[in-house]
């Protein structure tokens, strides 16, 4: 429809900013990226975004009035009501950065802000694998492990914005590895891409049998999470043991979250989730083993569907619902 307004979705990352114009139903109309310039304490990031939006509108010959509102996902803890980002170490911004007001000035429409992992969770709820669910957990298995918790259709922030820190659930109570957060045995140390590679190497060091994964490590000097899943799917025992260890830790953590608030869906995304249905099946196996039965029967585990677009979809949801 000619008269329909657009939402502006902005997903700020450490290397690039993803931008999109979306319909009010959350469908992407135009999508593009600009580099994130973190020089000078990230002082040009917001002006760059403002320019990019205005230039894109001009290029499309669309008036600024077409824009209704904007949403922003950014990497770090935020206070949605104050419109402030407490810390943004990856972007160089000073503490307590007034992100909402500065962005509002730059793009000329009302802005709502959210942590990037939470924005991705909202995106999956609105337009992806979580569609239709009002209670949902999203977990992102990448270099680290991130999460977002949605209850009754909205993000849970908690007392100090530390809700959704699923990666810092203690998965190994005794003798776990140190995590970057300063604590030992975090889920992130065993369920991230980094974690699973470390687990495989540990198993390999003691493994006496033959293994394609072992050969790969000897040949390339290193292995990746993808190598492990590929080998596991061809039946490599050592790789299978590694995947089982990951799925066991993850299944337990998710089952315990499940018994606490029985979400309709748990959405698994991030690079590691590219292992797809093979990984999903393993996680489900351990999830059902550890979950309170009514939870195992009613909480569904699914793969994320939006990939890198989850953040801009969630930012657009914020634009539509938080302004």
237-261 and 276-290 helices, crossing angle to 10°: 50
Binding residue for a second copy, selected from 44, 143, 256, 308, defined by CB under 8 A:
256
State in Å, rounded, how far the first CA of the chain is from the last one.
22
Shortest distance (Å) from residue 132 CB to a second copy? 11
Binding residue for a second copy, selected from 76, 146, 164, 270, defined by CB under 8 A:
164
Task: Please tell me whether residue 70 binds a second copy under the rule CB under 8 A.
Answer: no
Nearer residue to a second copy within complex by CB, 1 or 159:
159
254 alpha-carbon distance from chain centroid: 16
Task: Please tell me whether residue 292 binds a second copy under the rule CB under 8 A.
Answer: yes
Binding residue for a second copy, selected from 65, 183, 218, 276, defined by CB under 8 A:
183
Binding residue for a second copy, selected from 52, 78, 112, 257, defined by CB under 8 A:
257
Task: Please tell me whether residue 61 binds a second copy under the rule CB under 8 A.
Answer: no
Stretch that binds a second copy, among 45-53, 207-215, 217-225, 260-268 (CB under 8 A): 260-268
- Residue whose C-alpha is closest to residue 191's, from 264, 286, 120, 291: 286
Give how far Cα 8 sits from Cα of 22, 44, 125, 222, 320, Å: 6, 19, 18, 42, 9
- Give residues with Cβ within 8 angstroms of 228, minimum separation 6: 196, 197, 200, 213, 239, 242, 243
What is the pattern of x (binds a second copy, CB under 8 A) and - over residues 184-213?
--x---------------------------
DSSP 245-293: HHHHHHHHHHHHHHHHH--SEEEEESGGGGGHHHHHHHHHHHHHHHS-H
Binding residues for a second copy, rule: CB under 8 A, are: 77, 135, 147, 149, 151-152, 154, 156-166, 168-170, 173, 181-183, 186, 248, 252-253, 255-257, 259-264, 290-295, 297-299
């Amino acid at each position: 429809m000619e008269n329909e307004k657009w939402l502006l979705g902005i997903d700020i990352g450490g290397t690039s900013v993803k931008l999109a114009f979306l319909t009010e139903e959350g469908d992407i109309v135009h999508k593009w990226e600009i580099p994130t310039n973190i020089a000078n304490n990230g002082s040009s990031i917001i002006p760059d975004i403002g320019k990019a939006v205005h230039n894109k509108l001009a290029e499309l010959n669309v008036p600024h009035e077409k824009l209704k509102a904007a949403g922003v996902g950014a990497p770090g803890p935020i206070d949605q009501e104050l419109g402030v980002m407490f810390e943004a170490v990856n972007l160089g911004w000073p503490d307590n950065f007034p992100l909402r007001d500065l962005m509002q000035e730059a793009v000329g429409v009302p802005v709502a802000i959210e942590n990037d992992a939470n924005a991705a969770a909202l995106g999956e709820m609105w337009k992806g694998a979580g569609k239709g669910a009002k209670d949902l957990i999203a977990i992102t298995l990448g270099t680290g492990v991130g999460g977002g918790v949605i209850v009754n259709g909205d993000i849970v922030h908690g007392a100090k914005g530390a809700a959704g820190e699923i990666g810092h659930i203690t998965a190994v109570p005794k003798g776990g590895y140190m995590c970057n957060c300063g604590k030992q045995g975090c889920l992130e140390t065993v369920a991230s891409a980094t974690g699973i590679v470390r687990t495989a190497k540990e198993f390999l060091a003691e493994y006496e049998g033959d293994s394609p994964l072992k050969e790969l490590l000897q040949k390339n000097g290193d292995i990746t999470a993808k190598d492990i899943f590929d080998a596991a799917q061809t039946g490599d025992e050592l790789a299978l043991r590694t995947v089982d260890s990951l799925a066991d830790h993850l299944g337990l953590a998710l089952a315990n979250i499940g018994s606490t608030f029985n979400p309709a869906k748990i959405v698994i995304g991030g690079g590691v989730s590219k292992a797809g249905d093979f990984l999903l099946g393993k996680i489900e196996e351990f999830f059902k083993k550890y979950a309170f039965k009514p939870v195992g029967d009613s909480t569904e585990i699914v793969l994320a569907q939006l990939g890198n677009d989850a953040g801009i979809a969630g930012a657009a949801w914020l634009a539509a619902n938080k302004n």
